[in-house]
Amino acid sequence: MALQKKNIIVGAARVFLGPSTSDTASLATSKPAFVTATRYTATMATADGSTDTGVATLVTNWREVGYTQDGLEVATDPSWGEVEVDQLLDSAKIFKDGMSLNISTTFAEATLENLLIAWGQSATTVSSVVPFERELAFEGGSLGEAPLERGLIAVGNGVENEGSNTYAERVYQFYRVLSVEATTINNSRSEAATIPVTFRALPADNGRYGSARERLNVT
């Protein structure tokens, strides 16, 4: 393949969390629809708790987590079994016997909503106590309880558009994510309070974790 500098991608992604789905039939409607020639960040902005403004089949219960640090990392971790035979010094065959996928980032906005997400709380909103005050309860959960599943959409740069110095748009969607790892928030004199978070992705009924779409020439 010829060398092509247009395929070098730089730039941060914006992260949105919303409803999860494992039902194959509802995968297409679990996120706002793509609008031709319109950046998906603009579509997602109208899906951030607002009402339908005519943007195709809008799904409004998505929320942007705000500023992030250290980028967005998507890591696959397959495991393999091996078949050893007497006649070879190495394995004659290997086969996949396990798979996991994790998405990691750091929330730079240490809001109660982002703490709720990072700690995998079973609630979906932070409760109001009195006017101008809200409270997030530290829930231990119950035996066998799973963290709340959410959908995750990340929108960032894709490859460069042909004949232009602009980037295409790449949209990642993960159908089901869970915050399952230990999370620490630190109030420090010399550093901003941030929330590192790692999501474990689970496959939908169709066996897929999600999708990535490259959108060229969107404005």
Q: What pLDDT is attached to residue 93?
A: 96
Residue 201 lies in a domain: yes
Task: Look at residue 54 and tell me whether its pLDDT is greater than 80.
Answer: no
Contacts of residue 20, Cβ cutoff 8 Å, sequence gap at least 6: 30, 149, 150, 151, 175, 176, 177
Residue 5 lies in a domain: no
Region for 56 from its dihedrals, namely left if φ exceeds 0, alpha if ψ lies in -120 to 50, beta otherwise: left
CA distances from 129 to 110, 113, 133 (A): 20, 15, 6
Count: domains in the chain: 1
Residue 6 lies in a domain: no
Chain position carrying tokens 């490259």: 214
Q: Which helix (H) or strand (E) holds 129?
A: strand 127-130
Residue 54 lies in a domain: yes
Q: Which tens digit of pLDDT belongs to each residue from 97-114?
A: 999 999 999 999 999 999
Q: What pLDDT is attached to residue 53?
A: 46
Tokens of 34: 């793509």
pLDDT band at 145 (very low <50, low <70, confident <90, very high): confident
Residue 47 lies in a domain: yes
User: Which of 58-67, 152-161, 191-200 shows the lowest mean pLDDT across its residues?
Assistant: 58-67
Residue 86 lies in a domain: no
Q: What pLDDT is attached to residue 49?
A: 58
Residue 3 lies in a domain: no
Task: Look at residue 202 and tell me whether its pLDDT is greater than 90.
Answer: yes
User: Which of 20-24, 55-59, 74-78, 187-191 shows the lowest mean pLDDT across its residues?
Assistant: 55-59
Task: Look at residue 184 and tell me whether its pLDDT is greater than 90.
Answer: no
Task: Look at residue 25 and tell me whether its pLDDT is greater than 90.
Answer: no
Residue 109 lies in a domain: yes
| Residue span of the structural domain in which 119 resides | 12-81+92-139+146-215
Tokens of 119: 């700690």
